[in-house]
Amino acid sequence: MMLNPADDTFAATLRDLLPGDLFRAPEPRHLEEPRSRFTGQCGVLACPRDAGQVAALVRAAAQARVPVVPLGGGTGLVGGQVMPDGPAPLVISLERMTAIRAVHPRENVAVVEAGAVLADVQAAAREAGRLFPLSLAAEGSCRIGGNLSTNAGGVNVLRYGNARELCLGIEAVLPDGSLWNGLTRLRKDNTGYDLRDLLIGAEGTLGVITAAALKLAPLPAETGTALIVVPSPEAALDLLALARDRLGGEISAFELISGVGLDFLAEHLPRVRQPLAPRPGWSVLIELGMAAGRDPQAALENLFAAAMEAGLASDGVIAQSQAQREELWTLREHLPEGNRLVGAVSSHDISLPLGEIPGFIARAGDAVAALGDFRVNCFGHLGDGNLHYNVFPPKGGNRADHAGQAGAVQRAVHDLVHDCGGSFSAEHGVGRIKVGELERYGDPARLAAMRAIKAALDPAGIMNPGAVLRA
């Protein structure tokens, strides 16, 4: 089915329907994505003030068969937020819909508009003595509508779940321009199909999320952080099981760090202090969040002693102050920058069944080595089975020299992930970059069902064409 561009005639139609100040000239930030793989087009940029205006925009686009690209903070890593080709779209930026409508501390719920910046939602929760647990690198600029549309993950998924699990209800404009008020604050509601979870993670291809009711949690009164050296990824998994048995739901993060990542920091970011010498081959960063009256340092000391006795740890640091906690987290948070400075040949945001991880790491190392002389930095959210498995040139080498091998590396890694029952996109989504991977690895019955759902809800194919499914 052919779509039409958001041209001057369409722009005039919109101006007849809606206040003129909704329409702005696009800035570079409306057309860029962080990895610079694509540059977006924009026929018309609209910045609506409320869901009714979003509905009017989508209704007009549906009538005129004009593509619509919903835009949040624009921080997505798979190109879901930019449409580089085809008829120029109507870009609907949620940047004016940033209200925190309500915080209900006793209910542990916040109701926010989709354009609210994640850090502002976190701050509003904290002011009410509550935690909004979604936390990720882009939190200062990503917007909650985008977090939900991509089902964002981050460092606290182990304990609190990803964006989908942190959402009770959404308000959304469907592809025909109808407004669904699903902004419920209910924990239980079994009245038909789960349209909420269908729109969450649909990356703007089934509608525009305009507001959400989010789950909050108690603010942990006490926190503790440790960096523990483990002999192997296998031991890291056993340590995770041990920690869970002892500390249940008090573990907020359990991050695997590889020696290669620490080498990169030493080479390129020597100002980042490394607390352990020699730099360990494998280590885990554990964070505990506990209620008042609990003693996370003692809990970490007991865990460390038990891990030593079981041969699961050989060294470690337990933070004794807030400054030491921050130092350990600084180390973790600079790993992506270290990667960027070295320059990856190919990066992979993968997940695996926990039990398959040690075998995968061994086999993937062999598979990558068979393709050439590379360095692998494998790190990430071990508690969720989510690894960032990134492949780099050898020391002194340059990614440009290996550009021709990137495809083969990615294929080898993703084939192995698939073979181990894993996913080629754990938290970043499909966007436009991974459409081919979804076609290659997706279950055929599921793909057919996805296409049928897309065609049923968006028969003209106007919503974010080319994302997730081929247009």
Which residues within the stretch 149-188 sit at the binding site for a second copy (CB under 8 A)? 150-151, 153, 157-158, 161-162, 164-165, 174, 178-182, 184-188
Whether residue 378 contacts residue 423, with contact meaning beta carbons closer than 8 Å, is answered with no
Integer distance in angstroms from the first to the last C-alpha of the chain?
9
From 104, 268, 279, 399, residue interacting with a second copy (rule: CB under 8 A): 104
Q: How far is the CB of 107 from a second copy (least distance, A)?
A: 4
Strand 44-46 to strand 90-93: parallel, antiparallel, or no bridges (unpaired)? parallel
Token pair 């194919």 is found at: 461
CA distance 75 to 287: 26
Whether residue 338 contacts residue 259, with contact meaning beta carbons closer than 8 Å, is answered with no
In the bound state with a second copy, the residue whose beta carbon lies nearer, of 88 and 457, is 457
In the bound state with a second copy, the residue whose beta carbon lies nearer, of 71 and 174, is 174
From 272, 308, 367, 438, residue interacting with a second copy (rule: CB under 8 A): 438
- Taking CB under 8 A as the binding criterion, the range among 86-94, 225-233, 269-277, 291-299 that sits at the site for a second copy is 291-299
From 3, 211, 426, 462, residue interacting with a second copy (rule: CB under 8 A): 426
Q: How far is the CB of 184 from a second copy (least distance, A)?
A: 7
CA distance 61 to 194: 26
Q: How far is the CB of 117 from a second copy (least distance, A)?
A: 21
From 247, 257, 284, 307, residue interacting with a second copy (rule: CB under 8 A): 247
Instruction: Report CA torsion sign: 264, 419, 199, 455.
Output: positive
Amino acid at 39: T
309 binds a second copy (CB under 8 A): no
Q: How far is the CB of 218 from a second copy (least distance, A)?
A: 5
Determine the longest span between alpha carbons in the chain, in angstroms. Answer: 74
Name the CA dihedral angle for 416, 420, 423, 427, rounded to a multiple of 10 degrees: -100
In the bound state with a second copy, the residue whose beta carbon lies nearer, of 23 and 441, is 441
Q: How far is the CB of 136 from a second copy (least distance, A)?
A: 12
Report the site for a second copy in 403-422 (rule: CB under 8 A).
421-422
In the bound state with a second copy, the residue whose beta carbon lies nearer, of 51 and 228, is 51
Sheet holding 386-392: strands in order across? 315-318, 222-229, 282-290, 251-258, 375-381, 386-392, 349-351
In the bound state with a second copy, the residue whose beta carbon lies nearer, of 332 and 381, is 381
CA distance 156 to 70: 26
In the bound state with a second copy, the residue whose beta carbon lies nearer, of 103 and 121, is 103
In the bound state with a second copy, the residue whose beta carbon lies nearer, of 69 and 236, is 236
Q: Which residues of 407-420 are buried (b: 16+ CB within 10 A; e: fewer)?
A: ebbbebbbebbeeb
In the bound state with a second copy, the residue whose beta carbon lies nearer, of 402 and 414, is 414
From 19, 34, 52, 218, residue interacting with a second copy (rule: CB under 8 A): 218
From 7, 32, 50, 197, residue interacting with a second copy (rule: CB under 8 A): 197
> Among 173, 199, 208, 204, which Cα is nearest to 80's?
204
Token pair 């809606």 is found at: 18
Beta partners for 263? none
From 21, 25, 190, 270, residue interacting with a second copy (rule: CB under 8 A): 190
- Taking CB under 8 A as the binding criterion, the range among 83-91, 274-282, 284-292, 320-328 that sits at the site for a second copy is 284-292
From 7, 32, 50, 238, residue interacting with a second copy (rule: CB under 8 A): 238
Beta-carbon contacts of 386 under 8 Å, excluding residues fewer than 6 positions away, are: 153, 157, 349, 350, 351, 380, 426, 427
Amino acid at 136: L
From 110, 200, 209, 285, residue interacting with a second copy (rule: CB under 8 A): 200
Phi and psi dihedrals of 136, rounded to 5?
A: -155, 170
In the bound state with a second copy, the residue whose beta carbon lies nearer, of 33 and 95, is 33
From 332, 375, 388, 434, residue interacting with a second copy (rule: CB under 8 A): 434
What are 423's two structure tokens?
A: 């996913």
Number of residues that bind a second copy (CB under 8 A): 97
The distance of Cα 139 from the centroid of its chain, to the nearest Å, equals: 10
In the bound state with a second copy, the residue whose beta carbon lies nearer, of 8 and 295, is 295
Q: How far is the CB of 113 from a second copy (least distance, A)?
A: 18
CA distance 465 to 323: 47
Whether residue 318 contacts residue 299, with contact meaning beta carbons closer than 8 Å, is answered with no
Q: How far is the CB of 275 from a second copy (least distance, A)?
A: 28
In the bound state with a second copy, the residue whose beta carbon lies nearer, of 94 and 435, is 435
In the bound state with a second copy, the residue whose beta carbon lies nearer, of 274 and 423, is 423
What number of residues does the chain have? Answer: 471
Report the site for a second copy in 441-460 (rule: CB under 8 A).
441-450, 452-457
Report the site for a second copy in 326-365 (rule: CB under 8 A).
351-355
